[in-house]
């Protein structure tokens, strides 16, 4: 009996150690970025690593002075992210309701086509899109990136919404229809409000994706619509030598809001993953 | 409900239009382009399968295909192992568990660009924190700027770090759904921890594991920013993956025909990877509809 409780305690300790390692693995790199952004250049590469140091905001001041374009990039990122999120949520909710309520070959086919086409690697479609967008003047615009991000998430969004609409009883809609409500009224006042958690779940994914994307922004922007990640990569590859302090300041500004966003919306992230992947 | 007429068609129109306009149509263009010779300042001419033959005879293509194969497999299975291991040590559901999960999934929020920045900083030969620790432990340092293999190891490490939360969340939520009675029963039958894992947990988690692995194969296959920002495919094009090879064909050497052939090779490989998963999904859907 005693050997057994001993054993259980050892296993418990081992599990705790693994958890601690996992927590360090996930947070240490993020901690490094944020803490280094408050270090003087001489402290950033000090060996061994300085955990305690005299904080300074000079990197942020330097970022503002030397790379003010980064802040334009942040505004672009925000505009594009919000635009893409709204477009995706509206498109997904409308299509998701149809996939949940209407049977028939066209809609089943359309639901599967959306998912299968989405498997095509994004870089593939940049090939013809780049010259075409150039000709019609869509290159380097917010609109193009909004449409591209929404395109690559509207199918996942529609499937997430379908799973959530499946939970909303049809009887509610039928009762309202019997009371003389139009489809428009039913959707707007009954069904959609009940599916708001689904919309948030769909929104979380597209929001993170468009805030962080590098590939599309790198290929389709040259100056006006450049997003924060692209400018960040330019600071990193700066020809005049990398100023690590400024780089960490920029990275922290790009990183911290989205990390906080994920912490607060974790519940929806998990719900969306379950709905999008399991309940097909 | 009464007849809806055209309304459902209109409601699916935005999603269908986006995907049709920005995926289906460009993909069809790429297919057509892959049979053409095309570059800036040259007339587009039909060349049949020439691009594909050229592709198959380009040793840089094979190098990038091999790199992709190795890197993608390493990423997917390392993530799965870590996710399964973590699932096994998670405390029972409760506030502590929720806190641990929100910490573990944090890398999911980090962009690839910041990820590459972290890797470059930590593994800076001579000055990086991890490079210093590796040296202190007497381990060989990762000379990723000169040795292709070392660079790919860092690409794998970074991608696993960024995406393990996704695999973990899918596996973990599936594990939560397994009935506790099964484990009681297995325990009364005298099954040890390993046996319970091997004969109860693993088979029951298989559907979720398949979903996670399929998703991660498809997404890892697109790998671009990590490699591009870390090495640009160098030294001597030895660390290119398929997406980097394609990008260089198109936007550096302006050989759009060859790039399109590469693109279609990628599309076909993606669909092949996904095929078994979609077959089972389609089957399940029709079984439940019946």
B229 and B259 belong to one structural domain: no
Question: Is A69 part of the contact surface with chain B (CB cutoff 8 Å)?
Answer: no
B114 and B207 belong to one structural domain: yes
Average pLDDT over residues A23-41: 95
Enter the pTM of the model: 0.92
Question: What share of chain B in percent tops pLDDT 70?
Answer: 96
Residues facing A9 on adjacent strands: none
pLDDT class for B285, splitting at 50, 70, 90?
Answer: low
Q: Which residue of B has its CA nearest to A20?
A: B100
- pLDDT at site A121: 93
pLDDT class for A279, splitting at 50, 70, 90?
Answer: very low
B234 and B144 belong to one structural domain: yes
- pLDDT at site B289: 44
Alpha-carbon distance B263 to nearest alpha carbon in chain A (angstroms): 5
Count how many Cα atoms sit within 13 Å of the Cα of residue B94 in the half-sphere of its side chain. 4
Report in angstroms the alpha-carbon separations of B252 from B40, B148, B161, B186, B239.
11, 21, 30, 60, 17
- pLDDT at site B3: 67
B159 and B213 belong to one structural domain: yes
- Asked if A36 and B127 touch (Cβ cutoff 8 Å), the reply is no
- pLDDT at site A274: 79
Q: Under the phi-then-psi rule, with left for phi > 0, alpha for psi from -120 to 50, and beta for the rest, what region is B91?
A: beta
Alpha-carbon distance B218 to nearest alpha carbon in chain A (angstroms): 7
Is this complex's ipTM strictly greater than 0.85?
yes
| CB-closest option in B8, B259, B281 to A127 | B259
Question: Is B31 part of the contact surface with chain A (CB cutoff 8 Å)?
Answer: no
**Which residue range(s) make up the domain with B288?**
28-57+255-290
Report chain A's C-alpha Rg in angstroms: 24
B178 and B289 belong to one structural domain: no
Interchain CB distance below 8 Å, B113 and A214: yes
| CB-closest option in A90, A117, A261 to B14 | A90
B125 and B146 belong to one structural domain: yes
The reply to whether B248 falls in a domain is no
- Asked if B256 and A136 touch (Cβ cutoff 8 Å), the reply is no
Query: How high is the mean pLDDT of chain B?
Result: 89
- pLDDT at site A226: 96
Residues facing B37 on adjacent strands: B45
Question: What share of chain B in percent tops pLDDT 90?
Answer: 57
Q: Which residue reads 């078994």 in tokens?
A: B276
The reply to whether B188 falls in a domain is yes
Residues facing B36 on adjacent strands: B46
Angle (deg, nearest 10), helices B59-89 and B148-176: 40
Distance CA B10, CA A272 (A): 25
Question: Is B117 part of the contact surface with chain A (CB cutoff 8 Å)?
Answer: yes
The reply to whether B153 falls in a domain is yes
The reply to whether B133 falls in a domain is yes
Distance CA A160, CA B264 (A): 29
**SS3 (DSSP) at A24:** helix
Query: What are the helix and strand counts (H, E) for chain B?
Result: 14, 2
pLDDT class for A198, splitting at 50, 70, 90?
Answer: very high
**Backbone phi and psi for residue A208, each to the nearest 5 degrees, phi listed first:** -60, -45
Interchain CB distance below 8 Å, A121 and B225: no
Question: Is B253 part of the contact surface with chain A (CB cutoff 8 Å)?
Answer: no
Query: How high is the mean pLDDT of chain A?
Result: 91
Alpha-carbon distance A50 to nearest alpha carbon in chain B (angstroms): 10
Alpha-carbon distance B149 to nearest alpha carbon in chain A (angstroms): 22
Alpha-carbon distance A244 to nearest alpha carbon in chain B (angstroms): 9
- pLDDT at site A278: 55
- pLDDT at site A256: 96
| CB-closest option in B89, B132, B225 to A47 | B132
Q: What is the DSSP letter of A187?
A: I
Question: Is B127 part of the contact surface with chain A (CB cutoff 8 Å)?
Answer: yes
| CB-closest option in B170, B260, B274 to A277 | B170
Alpha-carbon distance B243 to nearest alpha carbon in chain A (angstroms): 7
B75 and B208 belong to one structural domain: yes
Q: Could you tell me the two tokens for A7?
A: 């054993």
Q: pLDDT tens-digit profile of B197-222?
A: 888 888 889 888 888 888 899 899 99
Distance CA B83, CA A229 (A): 28
- pLDDT at site B67: 95
The reply to whether B100 falls in a domain is yes
Report in angstroms the alpha-carbon separations of B28 from A7, B24, B55, B206.
62, 6, 19, 36
- Asked if A227 and A78 touch (Cβ cutoff 8 Å), the reply is no
| CB-closest option in B4, B166, B285 to A183 | B4
Q: pLDDT tens-digit profile of B55-101?
A: 999 999 999 999 999 999 999 999 999 999 999 899 888 899 999 99
Q: What is the DSSP letter of A47?
A: S
The reply to whether B111 falls in a domain is yes
Question: Is B214 part of the contact surface with chain A (CB cutoff 8 Å)?
Answer: no
Interchain CB distance below 8 Å, A170 and B1: yes
Question: Is B225 part of the contact surface with chain A (CB cutoff 8 Å)?
Answer: yes
CATH number, position B216: 1.10.3720.10
Question: Is A280 part of the contact surface with chain B (CB cutoff 8 Å)?
Answer: yes
Which among A256, A205, A29, A22 is positioned nearest to B97, based on CA atoms? A22
B102 and B191 belong to one structural domain: yes
Q: Could you tell me the two tokens for B78?
A: 């390392």
Q: Could you tell me the two tokens for B163?
A: 């995406």
CA B4 vs. chain centroid, Å, equals 40
Q: Chain A interface, mutation test: which of B1, B4, B11, most A Cβ atoms within 10 Å?
A: B11
B85 and B229 belong to one structural domain: yes
Above 80 in pLDDT, residue A240? Answer: no
Q: Could you tell me the two tokens for B26?
A: 């460009």
Average pLDDT over residues A101-120: 90
DSSP B158-216: HHHHHHHHHHHHHHHHHHHTS-HHHHHHHHHTT--HHHHIIIIIHHHHHHHHHHHHHHH
Interchain CB distance below 8 Å, B129 and A255: no
What distance separates the 2 farthest-apart alpha carbons in chain B?
Answer: 77
Which residues in chain A are closer than 8 Å to B108, comparing Cβ atoms? 208, 262, 269
Distance CA A100, CA A183 (A): 15
Which among A124, A150, A149 is positioned nearest to A221, based on CA atoms? A149
Q: What is the interface size between A and B, counted as CB pairs within 8 Å? A: 264
pLDDT class for B287, splitting at 50, 70, 90?
Answer: low
Average pLDDT over residues A106-131: 91
B125 and B170 belong to one structural domain: yes
Interchain CB distance below 8 Å, A19 and B89: yes
Distance CA A60, CA A15 (A): 40
- pLDDT at site A192: 94
Q: Could you tell me the two tokens for A163?
A: 């799973």
Q: pLDDT tens-digit profile of B232-256?
A: 988 889 999 999 999 999 999 999 9
The reply to whether B82 falls in a domain is yes
Question: Is B276 part of the contact surface with chain A (CB cutoff 8 Å)?
Answer: no
Which among A208, A238, A214, A239 is positioned nearest to A226, based on CA atoms? A214
- pLDDT at site B284: 63
Report chain B's C-alpha Rg in angstroms: 23
Q: pLDDT tens-digit profile of A130-188?
A: 988 989 999 999 999 999 999 999 999 999 999 999 989 999 999 999 998 898 899 99
Residues 6+ apart with CB under 8 A from A111: A95, A99, A158, A159, A162
Which residues in chain B are closer than 8 Å to A248, comparing Cβ atoms? 117
B71 and B212 belong to one structural domain: yes
Which among B108, B54, B269 is positioned nearest to A259, based on CA atoms? B108
Alpha-carbon distance A97 to nearest alpha carbon in chain B (angstroms): 8
B166 and B195 belong to one structural domain: yes
pLDDT class for B191, splitting at 50, 70, 90?
Answer: confident
**SS3 (DSSP) at B37:** strand
Instruction: Quote the number of domains for chain B.
Output: 2
Q: pLDDT tens-digit profile of B124-138?
A: 877 788 888 888 888
Above 50 in pLDDT, residue B271? Answer: yes
The reply to whether B250 falls in a domain is no
Above 60 in pLDDT, residue B290? Answer: no
């Amino acid at each position: 009996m005693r050997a057994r409780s001993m054993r259980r305690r050892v296993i418990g300790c081992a599990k705790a150690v693994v958890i601690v390692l996992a927590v360090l693995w996930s947070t240490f790199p993020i901690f490094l970025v944020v803490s280094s952004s408050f270090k003087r250049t001489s402290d950033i590469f000090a060996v061994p690593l300085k955990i305690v140091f005299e904080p300074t905001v000079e990197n942020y001041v330097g970022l503002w002075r030397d790379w003010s374009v980064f802040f334009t990039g942040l505004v672009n990122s925000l505009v594009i992210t919000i635009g893409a999120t709204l477009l995706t949520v509206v498109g997904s909710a409308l299509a998701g309701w149809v996939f949940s309520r209407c049977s028939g070959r066209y809609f089943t086919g359309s639901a599967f086509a959306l998912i299968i086409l989405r498997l095509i690697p994004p870089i593939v479609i940049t090939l013809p899109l780049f010259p075409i967008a150039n000709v019609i003047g869509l290159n380097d615009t917010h609109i193009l990136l909004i449409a591209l991000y929404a395109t690559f998430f509207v199918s996942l969004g529609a499937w997430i919404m379908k799973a959530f609409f499946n939970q909303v009883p049809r009887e509610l809609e039928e009762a309202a229809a019997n009371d003389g409500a139009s489809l428009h009224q039913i959707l707007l006042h009954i069904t959609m409000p009940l599916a708001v958690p689904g919309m948030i779940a769909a929104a979380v994914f597209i929001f993170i994706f468009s805030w962080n994307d590098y590939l599309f922004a790198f290929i389709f922007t040259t100056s006006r619509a450049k997003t924060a990640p692209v400018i960040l990569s330019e600071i990193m590859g700066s020809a005049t030598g990398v100023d690590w302090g400024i780089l960490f300041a920029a990275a922290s500004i790009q990183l911290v809001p989205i990390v906080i966003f994920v912490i607060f919306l974790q519940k929806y992230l998990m719900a969306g993953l379950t709905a999008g992947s399991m309940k097909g | 409900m009464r007849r809806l007429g055209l309304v459902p068609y209109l409601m699916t129109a935005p999603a269908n239009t986006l995907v049709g306009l920005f995926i289906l149509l460009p993909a069809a263009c790429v297919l057509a382009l892959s049979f053409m010779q095309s570059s800036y300042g040259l007339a587009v001419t039909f060349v049949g399968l020439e691009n594909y033959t050229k592709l198959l005879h380009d040793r840089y293509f094979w190098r990038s295909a091999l790199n992709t194969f190795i890197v993608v497999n390493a990423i997917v299975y390392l993530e799965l192992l870590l996710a399964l291991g973590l699932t096994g040590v998670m405390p029972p559901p409760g506030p502590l568990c929720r806190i641990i999960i929100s910490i573990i999934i944090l890398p999911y929020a980090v962009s690839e660009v910041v990820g590459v920045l972290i890797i470059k900083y930590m593994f800076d030969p001579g000055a990086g924190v991890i490079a210093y620790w590796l040296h202190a432990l007497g381990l060989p340092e990762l000379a990723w700027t000169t040795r292709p293999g070392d660079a790919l190891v860092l690409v794998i490490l970074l991608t696993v770090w960024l995406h393990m939360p996704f695999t973990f969340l899918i596996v973990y939520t599936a594990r939560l759904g397994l009935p506790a009675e099964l484990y009681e029963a297995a325990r009364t039958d005298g099954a040890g921890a390993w046996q319970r894992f091997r004969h109860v947990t693993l088979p029951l988690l298989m559907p979720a594991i398949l979903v996670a692995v399929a998703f991660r194969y498809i997404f890892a296959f697109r790998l671009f920013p990590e490699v591009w920002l870390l090495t640009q495919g160098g030294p001597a094009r030895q660390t290119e993956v398929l997406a980097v090879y394609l990008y260089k064909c198109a936007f550096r050497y302006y050989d759009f025909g060859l790039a399109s052939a590469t693109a279609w090779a990628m599309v076909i490989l993606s669909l092949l990877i996904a095929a078994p998963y979609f077959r089972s999904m389609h089957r399940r859907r029709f079984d439940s509809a019946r």
